[in-house]
Amino acid sequence: MNDELVQAALEECRERMHKAVEHARADFASVRTGRATPALVERLKVDYYGQEVPLQQLAGFQIPEPRVLVITPYDKGAMKAIERAISSSDLGVNPANDGAVIRLVFPELTQERRKEFVKVVRQRAEDGRVAVRNVRRASRHELEGLEKEGDLSSDELDRAEKELEKLTHELVGEIDRLLASKEKELLEL
């Protein structure tokens, strides 16, 4: 019984930590690197008939050239709203509308801008690490509560905490690897 409680708590912790890592991965994808990618705009919120809707639900994406992203709205009536959302975002590109599609041409990044993006990515990585550690702390409190209730011995608690530490180090390491990869991508010319 005790082992099942520990395993259930650890499994829930593992799932929540993986979600934090996936969130960090998605955050990294939304930082531009000089190449066009749908990840830069697909989560942009568009005011679509009074509702805030992610762009990925309103349009399809193509990349005909490395620095050009073509957005094809499913509903032509959403064209102006999509353009407004892109213009008001921090992407630094001007949407070109030809009546059927919206083209985004991404300029080459300057070295200074690349360094700014590296700082942004490092901050997002730190946010991801903090999220993983917060999950660890919540799980540790839950396990300590089980020990206080008598459902867990101190030896079982020690083993569970070691497992938590191992999992935390593994997933923080994953975030660090994602960060290193994104920094390399940002700094290569």
Architecture of domain 38-105: 2-Layer Sandwich (3.30)
Q: What is the CATH number of domain 2-29+112-187?
A: 1.10.132.20
Res. 189 pLDDT band, cuts 50 70 90: low
Do the domains spanning 2-29+112-187 and 38-105 agree at the CATH topology level?
no
pLDDT above 70 covers a percentage of the chain that reads 97
| Mean per-residue pLDDT of the chain | 88
Strand partners, 97: 102
Q: Identify the H or E element spanning 96.
A: strand 96-97
Cα 3 from Cα 159, distance rounded (Å): 11
Per the CB < 8 A criterion, the answer to whether 26 and 40 are in contact is no
Q: What are phi and psi of 153, to 5 degrees?
A: -85, 165
Question: Is 42:56 a contact under the CB 8 Å cutoff?
Answer: yes
4: helix, strand or coil:
helix
pLDDT in tens, 126-167: 999 999 999 999 999 998 988 888 888 888 889 999 999 999
pLDDT tens for 18-35 read 999 999 998 888 777 767
pTM listed for this prediction: 0.72
In the predicted structure, residue 117 carries a pLDDT above the cut 90: no
How would you write 20-45 as a 3-class SS string? HHHHHHHHHHCCCCCCCCHHHCCCCE
- Going from N- to C-terminal start, the domains of the chain cover 2-29+112-187, 38-105
